[in-house]
Amino acid sequence: MEISQEFKDKIQHVANLPTLPQIASRLIRIINDPMTSSNDVAFIIGQDLSLSAKVLRLANSAFYGVPKSITNINSAVVILGLKVLHTMVLGLTVFDMFPNSKQSAALFDRKSFWLHSLGCGMVAKFLASRVRKFILFDPEEAFCAGLLHDIGKVVMEQYLHDDFHKALEYAQINNIPMYNAENTVLGYNHCQVAEWLTSTWGLPSELQYPLIYHHAPSESEQYQEIITLCHLSDWLCYDLGLNNNSYVSPELFPDSFTTLKLEQDDINILKEQFKSEMEKAVTFFEIAAS
């Protein structure tokens, strides 16, 4: 995505960029290396006691539904897998960087933001298992992309506060999606913020692209499917009532269903199961916030 001059000027003035905690960045570096063992991952997570405790609580929660209890990080990695642990750590550390603020702003409630993000992760994970033919998604990657897709918004709220609130007000008054309001009022948007942020974090491209292109899937030349999956999941979240502080849903690209070879029946099943799945998923949010 092309970065506008306004945005470049703006971020040069932002001090103290949000850097990813060392544990999460070490995991990002090693997770896709075939030489990485469960012991390596357990060792890295084990360095942080409070994180380890949260990981264990999550691993034993209804969200993962593991029948026997997981008592140490090593078994958590073996039973749930490296990728699940990676998502957990990324999700928990990013939540920690942008917690549910005590005095929520009138126009941007962080709880609503995180529930929308979690919902998008759940929808993406569900749809990843329903997508037909030729496209193989890693459900965990889908969940992670959905969970982080709007990270640019919370970064704007924290670091570019006045700009973000101008856009929020404009979106509300004119009844338009935030993405469009940001472009009109600020000349940049939360997807560009995510691009700038995640390149400094070193997120792998398949996770970074959905964050950058989820409002404009056709603009990307790569990772079309995971971007479209994230785009559709975001749109469905508005339909499911997780509207991320905004009353207006982003525009749905009409090709989304055909790109993913999804049918109305998949959406009907999603809607039937979503409420109970979301109840389990809220554990993620509660443990992260504890």
Minimum Å distance from CB 257 to Fe ion? 19
Q: Positive or negative, the Cα torsion across 121, 125, 131, 135?
A: positive
Which stretches within 13-105 are classed as H helix? 22-31, 38-46, 49-59, 73-80, 82-97
Alpha-carbon distance 83 to 220, whole Å?
25
- C-beta of 48 vs 234, nearer to Fe ion: 234
- C-beta of 120 vs 131, nearer to Fe ion: 120
Which residue shows structure tokens 């997570």? 45
Q: Are 7 and 192 in contact (CB under 8 A)?
A: yes
- C-beta of 41 vs 211, nearer to Fe ion: 211
Choices 11-19, 38-46, 82-90, 148-156 (CB under 5 A): range interacting with Fe ion: 148-156
Residue 71's nearest CA partner among 92, 91, 53 is 53
Choices 65-73, 180-188, 233-241, 270-278 (CB under 5 A): range interacting with Fe ion: 233-241
Alpha-carbon distance 76 to 55, whole Å?
8
The distance from CA 125 to its chain's CA centroid, rounded to whole angstroms, is: 12
Per CB under 5 A, 234 contacts Fe ion: yes
Tell me 220's DSSP state. -
Pick from 48, 140, 141, 150 the residue near Fe ion by CB under 5 A.
150
- C-beta of 79 vs 185, nearer to Fe ion: 185
- The count of residues interacting with Fe ion (CB under 5 A) is 2
Minimum Å distance from CB 234 to Fe ion? 4
- C-beta of 150 vs 225, nearer to Fe ion: 150
Per CB under 5 A, 182 contacts Fe ion: no
Chain residues in the site for Fe ion (CB under 5 A): 150, 234
